[in-house]
Structure 1
Amino acid sequence: GGAGPEGAGMRMTAHESAFRLLSSFIDAKSQSAAVAYKLIVASLLENYAEAPLRSYAEGRLGATLQDNPRMPLALLVEPLMRRVRDEGYADFDFDFYMVLAEPPRLEPSQALMVADVLTRVAMTDPAAALGASVPLVSLVVRFGGHASVVDFVGRMGRLGMSIVAGGEPPGGGGGAP
């Protein structure tokens, strides 16, 4: 079965094998690299709740992305950010988000998805704020010339100021009595 320590060990071994395959396919410039990459991403998302496996997969995937900066990120970023919003995060995840902030293939719309999640973390979880702010600042600096990012930073700045001031967020309820 897949439950318990035996199942966890098998999943870890399967991931090690998948990463070795991916590396071999990349080295051989094989079209099969895309299939192995999709399999690894799908497994990362499916096993998201299993922190040790996620930590391992993010570490290996992060190293792979750093070594191969042109790997496509579309099939990874949006579903991963959905998982983070729905299921949470751990301190080790921020290292992976920093790697996501670096590749040349990251599109401004993908950067905004990551920045949105990191901003929410930074504003709502004081214990994780520093970890979230490092990749967040990297994304804002890298994509600061894009109008959508400038608009996002302005909105988040106004929201942050309203929180600091103790008022309602802009656009929040409450009108004149």
Structure 2
Amino acid sequence: MNTYRFRFNNSKKTLTILFWFFAALLTISLTIIVIVIPSDPLFPAWLLLISLPLMLTAIYRFFKAASERQSTEVVSLNEDGFTSSCFGSALYSDMRSIQIPAREIALLGGKQYDYYKQTDADFPNLVFSITIGESKTLIWILNEWGGLYNSKDDFTIFFDFLTALTDQLYQLYHVNESYNSYLKILDENGSWEKRS
């Protein structure tokens, strides 16, 4: 049984993060106005006593909500499927599809780190999803070269998990077929669907 431990962006609390981000912007602006314009009838000095604690609270809540988007995942692969600390158990037989941004991953021939360093393009946040059964979708968001929510090593470990997972699926469903260049079972768009 192989075990993989990595951090990822769980994409939760997006509305909460946006709310606290704009609340922080508003309270910072208000506090700066109160400090810059002393004793103006529109912005009395006592307003600073209200705006400063509100600003500090909004900034704290924004960073707290942003940090809650990071999850630590421990995945254990076995012969029947895998067990995830964030999503529970999944059997290979229940997996319906896999979506991977294969063309964006440098390890699979996508754009290299130097491309992003030499241009103004932002590093992509890669979204990986596995559909289990009819309704359950497991989603991991990672940055290949590290970022706010995962490191480069986390991505390498996650990629090792994907490689092992697709190897297992290849042995189950495609053993008599020649394998594709993208993790054996994925097509050129980075997707795989279980045949009925």
TM-score normalised to structure 1 length: 0.31
Higher helix share: 1
Q: Max radius of gyration: which structure?
A: 2
More RCO (CA 8 Å, sep 6+)? 2
TM-score normalised to structure 2 length: 0.29
Higher strand share: 2
